Amino acid sequence: MPDHARPAPSADPSSSPASDTWHALSTGEVQQQLQSEPAGLGDAEVQRRRALHGPNRLAPPRRRGPLLRFVLQFHNILLYVMLGAAAITALLGHWVDTGVLLAAVVVNAIIGFIQEGKAESALEAIRSMLSPHATVLRGGRRLDIDAAELVPGDRVLLASGDRVPADLRLVEVRELRVDEAALTGESLPVDKDTLAVAADAPLGDRSGMAYSGTLVVYGQATGIVVATGSRTELGQINRMLEGIGTLSTPLLRQIDRFGRYLALTILVLAAATFVLGVLWRGHAPAEMFMMVVALAASAIPEGLPAIMTVTLALGVQRMARRHAIVRRLPAVETLGSVTVICSDKTGTLTRNEMTVRRMVSAGLDVDVAGVGYEPVGDFSIGSSVIDTDRHPSVSLALRAGVLCNDAQLREDKGQWQVVGDPTEGALLVLGQKAGFTQHIGSAEWPRLDSIPFESQHRFMATWHRDADGQSWIFVKGAPERLLDICGFERGDEGERPIDVDTWRRMANDTAAKGLRLLGLACKRAEPAGARLGFSDVEHGFTMLGLVGIVDPPREEAVRAVAECHQAGIRVKMITGDHAETARAIGAQLAIGVGKPALTGAEVALMDDAALRRVAMEVDVFARASPEHKLRLVQALQADGQVVAMTGDGVNDAPALKRADVGVAMGQKGTEAAKEASDVVLANDNFATIAAAVREGRAVYDNLKKFILFMLPTNGGEALVVIAAILFELTLPLTPAQILWINMVTSSTLGLALAFEPAEDGLMRRRPRPPGESLLSGFFVWRVLMVSVLMMTGALGLFLWELSNGTSLETARTMAVNAIVVAEMFYLLNSRHVLASVLNREGLTGNHVALWAIAACVPLQLAFTHLPVMQGIFGSTDLDTVEWFKVLAAGLLVFSVAELEKFFIRRTPIAGRLAAV
């Protein structure tokens, strides 16, 4: 072994830094370096090392208190403008205006506080993965201690069911299997031994190591602690999480940018208006300031935060019905802007149910239909379905798979489940498809003895007696191991000498398809002694067949991947499995077809620039560690992509947190993965992600429709105020009346657009560019056009009434109602950006819009006719003729907006505008 592969020597071995190469050292070298004796450390040495290394625990996460979270809700430039206006109106004694402004600010802050939701808990979830107890040898005594007391050099004893309490180098192993899925993504438990491996071996291939937080599912072992606390692999993930800040979503970035530009525009416009009014028109500063406050109030979209929250919340409800639980509201819309989905393989794209797809015996190549644990499916050769009972070689191989087996297949409420090793479960399902169940096998072929599977022997053997009293020994295991003990092969014609080269060629061909291989063999003989021993499994066996096993893709995932591709979204598969398995499954899902798979080891050799180039070209990544997954997400984001990441293990948590949308599995996901994510899938199904993307796009559509509805309202009010100032007219709208329109009627009506159903062709659009402006040039034109129409209707009606001798209060009341009625009509226009609403679907397709208009009518009647409202807002009663005039102003906006859509639909750019 090269010197650079070993940990650096130290005067104090126990203080050596955590090394990535303990797996590359022999057990003797590890014991020598850590000065770990077979009897364990003494008490004095334990105390010294604990003082040096600290406790075996992770630092608690930093939390932000609720008061600070609430105060930070006011950190918004639009709210600053409103607070400033409220302060000055209070100094001028306009208490009604002050109260309405402050109410708007506080309501928005409360909504933001609720929206932020649950505090970050991913770090706490990782800490909970640490084992609370550990069994150690110290001073020759076996002790059960708090796992936090472990130190490097301690000897830890592991047994089935234990959670590994620290990173251990295994020195004694007895049939140990460890579930490392949470740390490595490996879908099956891993067999462990004491052998050293290459220094650059991926985490999942370090068979001589047991890592903190993983679970012992079978066997026993003794290991030496080589890393504790933050220096474990789990601790490194914890540190990675601490260093990852939560990214803002595309929508929030757009809203923030939009808010800044809007606030700057409002301030500049207000300042210019104030200066012109005072210096040019000679108005009193106090009077002019109230006009400027009215202008600012008319331009600020007070209802935007509330409507955005409600729209996102409705998206949350719709996603929940599709089994996607949203933990953070902005993630709803972010899903709609995703350009790349990085998906875990096992259980998300696949069923997480091992299935035999191919059987090979001497002279026969059999395809097996059916997927998952439900024992339904035919056996076929080519295109012809066969009866396995007519093929003795296949029938006997099926029997061997069921008899030489420790798993159980159960049905519970129509759901088939495997108890035990998933690979053995696949053999039980295979036998039951042919009619040979475990119950039949136990009755007709009782087991007399067995040799359990051990990694060093790589096979399992069982001894049975059939109904005729004949003794049989069945063996299953690695094909190359079984070929060593087989002298014969079984065909339909009987036994014959084995053709080893043909079997190896068939094994390679099956493995190349991404299938896991198991060999099945038998010998009709009695054991040499009273029990089955290893000497009975050395030679004389007959090769029965090979089975190819795979975790098959979900059928709905295949369709969902195709839908994502159609929507312009790249799907990348990142898994802890081996490259060939990953590439084969990817090909079945139409992911990375014809492209090589990239391994974690290859990713580790690339710098960030090289990885950024490769990340978009390669679609299948295998043997990926937490660092590799995080770097891949960062590389894609650096390329300008909006990334959704799915995962279930603690190894996925850093990438889940870093991604624009982290999607965790709800059924088999760890708490660390769920807490680091934005969305949790209740059914662990990739198809749910595709459905959630569709909902996210619909949410964004509805938000843009709301903005397209809201801005002309604000723009029309602002133009009314500006015109009044420039032409020295009496102010048509007071600040309080403007806030009534914005906070009550506009928000009530605009809320209806959150309930708009998704438009056809939503998933045939390309993803919108991440840097896209919230307002396109076309949207600006639409806002200006409708703003002018609303100003024309309201200001024209106001001036007409004044010229006819109507009182100022009545003219203002008519102006307010003209804007609100125009909003009611324009709400219907806004249901479709370009399509006409002059049809049944356009007018009645959104029942909530009709209810919103119906709710707004009594609000305006109360504003106009209730004495208490007249006292607050300065409104007066209107007669029937005046109401008809108000209605005509609203119809003006509706008619011209529909005419504009009619002409634009007939232009060549209509298709491009429809996707804006």
| 109-120 pLDDT tens trace | 665 565 444 334
Calculate what percentage of the chain has a pLDDT beyond 90. 40
Confidence of residue 11 (pLDDT cuts 50, 70, 90): very low
How far CA 233 is from CA of 24, 121, 237, 525, 650, in Å, comes to 16, 19, 7, 49, 10
HSE (side-chain half, CA atoms, 13 Å) at 706: 32
Nearest by Cα to 87 from 283, 296, 276: 296
Spatial contact of 556 and 691, defined as CB atoms under 8 Å apart: no
Phi, psi of 326 (to 5 degrees): -90, 125
Say how far apart CA 603 and CA 614 lie, in whole Å. 9
pLDDT for the residue numbered 120: 42
DSSP 893: H
Structure tokens at 562: 């195709």
pLDDT of residue 327: 76
Q: Say which residues have a Cβ less than 8 Å from residue 270's Cβ, sequence separation at least 6.
A: 292, 295, 296
What letter would DSSP give residue 553? B
- From the list 387, 406, 723, 356, the residue with the least C-alpha distance to 513 is 356
The set of residues, in sequence order, having a beta carbon less than 8 Å from that of 85 and lying 6+ positions away, is 101, 293, 296, 297
What confidence score (pLDDT) does residue 377 get?
A: 94
pLDDT band at 5 (very low <50, low <70, confident <90, very high): very low
Report the C-alpha gap between 584 and 19 in whole angstroms.
34
Measure the CA angle with vertex 563, ends 557 and 564; round to 5°.
90
pLDDT of residue 91: 64
Mean pLDDT of 278-303: 70
CB 60 within 8 A of CB 125: no
Sort strands 155-159 and 190-191 into parallel, antiparallel or unpaired: unpaired
Let me know: does 568 contact 589? Beta carbons within 8 Å.
Answer: no
Q: Is the pLDDT of residue 604 over 90?
A: no
Q: Does residue 103 have a pLDDT over 90?
A: no
Q: What is the DSSP letter of 162?
A: P
Write the pLDDT tens digit of every residue in 461-505: 999 999 899 999 999 999 999 999 999 999 888 899 999 999 999
Single-letter amino acid, residue 265: T
- The two structure tokens encoding residue 914: 């429809």
For residue 206, the one-letter residue type is R
Mean pLDDT across 646-663:
85
Residue with the bigger pLDDT between 12 and 607: it is: 607
CB contact set of 602 (below 8 Å; sequence gap of 6+) = none
Does 365 participate in catalysis according to the annotation?
no
The larger pLDDT score, comparing residue 234 to residue 819, is at 819
Return the pLDDT at 465: 95
521-542 pLDDT tens trace: 999 999 998 899 999 999 999 9
Question: Which pLDDT score, from 0 to 100, does residue 585 have?
Answer: 87
Alpha-carbon separation of residue 389 from 396, 434, 609 (angstroms): 9, 8, 59
Instruction: Report DSSP letters for 806-870, one per residue.
Output: --HHHHHHHHHHHHHHHHHHHHHHTTSSSS---SHHHHHS-HHHHHHHHHHHHHHHHHHH-HHHH
The larger pLDDT score, comparing residue 635 to residue 262, is at 635
- Separation of alpha carbons 167 and 664, rounded Å: 26
In whole angstroms, what is the distance from residue 152 CA to residue 292 CA?
70
Q: Is the pLDDT of residue 822 over 80?
A: yes
Please tell me the distance from the alpha carbon of residue 824 to that of residue 845, in angstroms, as a whole number.
15
Residue 332 has pLDDT above 50, yes or no: yes
Element (H, E) at 449: strand 447-454
| DSSP at 767 | P
Does the pLDDT value for residue 8 go beyond 60?
no
In whole angstroms, what is the distance from residue 643 CA to residue 6 CA?
38
Question: Residue 215 to residues 158, 176, 207, 219, 370: CA-CA distances in angstroms?
Answer: 10, 11, 14, 11, 31
pLDDT tops 90 at residue 81: no
Alpha carbon dihedral 198, 203, 204, 206, in 10-degree steps, equals 40
pLDDT band at 190; cut points 50, 70, 90: confident
Distance from CA of residue 745 to its chain's centroid?
A: 37
Please, are residues 225 and 168 in contact by the beta-carbon 8 Å criterion?
yes
- The SS3 of residue 360 is strand
Distance CA 373, CA 428 (A): 9
Q: How far is 409 from 438, CA to CA, in rounded Å? A: 8
How far is Cα of residue 405 from the mean position of the Cα atoms in its chain? 37
**How far is Cα 399 from Cα 466, in angstroms, rounded to an integer?**
11
Comparing 18-27, 824-833, 866-875, the range with the smallest average pLDDT is: 18-27
Q: Which amino acid type is present at position 336?
A: G
Instruction: Compute the distance between CA of residue 239 and CA of residue 237 in angstroms, rounded to an integer.
Output: 5
Residue 681 burial class via C-beta count within 10 angstroms: exposed 0-12, middle 13-18, buried 19 and up: buried
Residues 150 and 144: their CA atoms lie apart, in Å, by: 11
Residue type for position 451 = I
Q: pLDDT higher for 862 or 126?
A: 862
Contact (CB, 8 A) for 506 and 519: no
* DSSP code per residue over 652-689: GHHHHHHSSEEEEESSS--HHHHHH-SEEETT--HHHH
* Residue ranges with strand state E in 3-103: none
CB-CB contact of 722 with 84 (8 Å): no
pLDDT of 305 reads 63
Q: Which residues contact 162 (CB under 8 A, 6 or more apart)?
A: 131, 135, 215, 216
Please name every residue paired with 853 in a beta bridge, in sequence order, or none if there are none. none
Length of the chain: 916
Integer Cα distance of 798 and 815 in angstroms: 6
- Chain centroid to CA 283: how far? 58
Q: pLDDT tens digit string along 544-602?
A: 999 999 888 888 889 889 999 998 999 999 887 778 778 888 988 999 988 888 988 89
Is 255's pLDDT higher than 80?
no
Average pLDDT, the chain: 83
226 backbone dihedrals φ, ψ, rounded to 5°: -110, -15
Flag whether pLDDT at 201 surpasses 50. Answer: yes
Indicate which residue of 154, 344, 421, 684 is catalytic: 344
Helices 880-905, 808-829: axis angle to 10 degrees equals 30
